[in-house]
Structure 1
Amino acid sequence: MNDSRPHAHAAVLLAAGVSERLGQPKQLLRRAGETLLHRMARLAASTTPATLVIALPAHAHAMAGILRDLPGLKIVHPQPGKGMGASLQAAAASVKAFQRVLVLGCDQPALESPHLHALLDGATNSESGCAATVLSGTVGVPAVLPGSWFEELDPGSGNAGFRERLRTLPRQHLALIHAPGLALDIDTLEDLVTARSLGLIDPP
């Protein structure tokens, strides 16, 4: 549902991956004792979205329990194995009416809330209504997109999601927020070792 507050936004946390390459649920890795899933949900909630949708794996009841102290969440369970696009489609009905939708993942342990606020502010003032994070020279998530994009999402987008549409926008029409540290996301054991060496993930 939309919100009557001026500039109200929605947020979508993509946390439905099964972490095949990592071999363990990345959502349950911890930073300073807090799971990445809870940390990212907490950071998203700190932007005070009117709606916060979290995509979790099917039958992830324990993961949903981790979030019980964060009120007002909407949990969705996209089709297993259908990629990021399925998570975005599962969230679409809840966020499509908003002018700004903050989209983030759960595997960037260096993320802090000021970056999310900067993206939201940037999207408000950009010609496209979009803001994105610059990672290793290209644009990616976290990002802020118009809710209308969710209605227009290609069902066959798989793991691409909005990536190509975002990257084809003229850069002068985007608010671009540089955050080199966010280039480290945890997909593999090598990534996990690196994150631990930097103090971004707790030791086992």
Structure 2
Amino acid sequence: MKTGIIILAAGESTRLGYPKQIAQYKGKTLLQLAIDAANGANAEKRVVVLGANRDEIKKTFSGASIPNIPNPNFQKGMSSSIKIGLEYMLKFDKPDQVIIMLCDQPFVDSKLLNKLIEAQKESEKGIVSCKYSKTFGVPILFGKAYLKELMQLSGDEGAKKLALAHEDDMEYVSFPKGKVDIDTEEDLRDLNL
């Protein structure tokens, strides 16, 4: 089973006031932490989707460490980044499943991404999602059966809407720290305490 990982890192970080992708935690940028997690996972292909502040962000990581592609329509919301990342994967690598992850969840690591892949193998479900704070969300794995539907998302719809429509085909991996994401300076301060 061939797995692809798409890191969504195209947002404008309006609440933070500067690109959250380059915010620091434990001596690394949030995006670098996401790249390290993806590179350490048992996946065949990885890609970062960049948008706002692309040139500034690209200077903070080695282009050789992971392919990165631009989303010129990043203002159209998260779905546009999912589609661009998926188009890239399908064109070059034809994965059997993809994991969608964000760059602002500092506690996502390769062990967690591998747990999603393992949970899919064991459960044979088409979707494997992280569970936290009485909800579920990213990182989230979608099998081949859902890739076409992912390509049809629009606006600020994330993958959650699609997952909700197919809850009967979903397995969960517990990830309590999944509720921690960085949107404001305060979030970053709390993280670094």
Indicate yes or no: 2:35 matched with 1:41: yes
TM-score computed with the length of structure 2 as normaliser: 0.87
Q: How does 1:23-42 map to 2 (within 5 A)?
A: 23-42=17-36
Q: Which of the residues 92, 97, 113 maps onto 1:100? A: 97
Q: Which of the residues 113, 135, 139 maps onto 1:138? A: 135
Shift of the 60–90 alpha-carbon distance from structure 1 to 2, 3 Å rule, reads same
Q: Specify the alignment match of 2:116 in structure 1.
A: 119
Indicate yes or no: 2:156 matched with 1:179: no
TM-score computed with the length of structure 1 as normaliser: 0.83
Please list every run of 5 or more consecutive structure 2 residues that lacks an aligned counterpart in the other structure: none
Q: Which of the residues 50, 73, 76 maps onto 2:70? A: 76
Deviation beyond 4 Å, 4+ runs, structure 1: none
Q: Distance in 2 between matches of 1:30 and 1:66?
A: 11
Q: Specify the alignment match of 1:149 in structure 2.
A: 146
TM-superposed deviation, 1:112:
2.2
Q: What per-residue deviation string (whole Å, max 9, x for no partner) do you get for residues 131-170 of structure 1?
A: 1101211110001112453333365522222211212323
Q: Distance in 1 between matches of 2:167 and 2:71?
A: 34
TM-superposed deviation, 1:59:
5.7
Q: Distance in 1 between matches of 2:52 and 2:27?
A: 25
Give the match's secondary structure for 1:116.
Answer: helix
TM-superposed deviation, 1:58:
4.7
Percent identity between the aligned chains?
28
Q: Which of the residues 85, 89, 93 maps onto 1:91? A: 85
Q: Distance in 2 between matches of 1:69 and 1:155?
A: 29
TM-superposed deviation, 1:120:
1.0
Give the match's secondary structure for 1:128.
Answer: coil
Q: Distance in 2 between matches of 1:49 and 1:34?
A: 22
Indicate yes or no: 2:184 matched with 1:188: yes
Q: Give the AA of the match of 1:114.
A: K
Q: Distance in 2 between matches of 1:74 and 1:154?
A: 19
Q: Give the AA of the match of 1:37.
A: L
TM-superposed deviation, 1:23:
1.1
Shift of the 32–70 alpha-carbon distance from structure 1 to 2, 3 Å rule, reads farther
Q: Give the AA of the match of 1:166.
A: A
| Bigger share in helix | 2
- Count of equivalent residues: 190
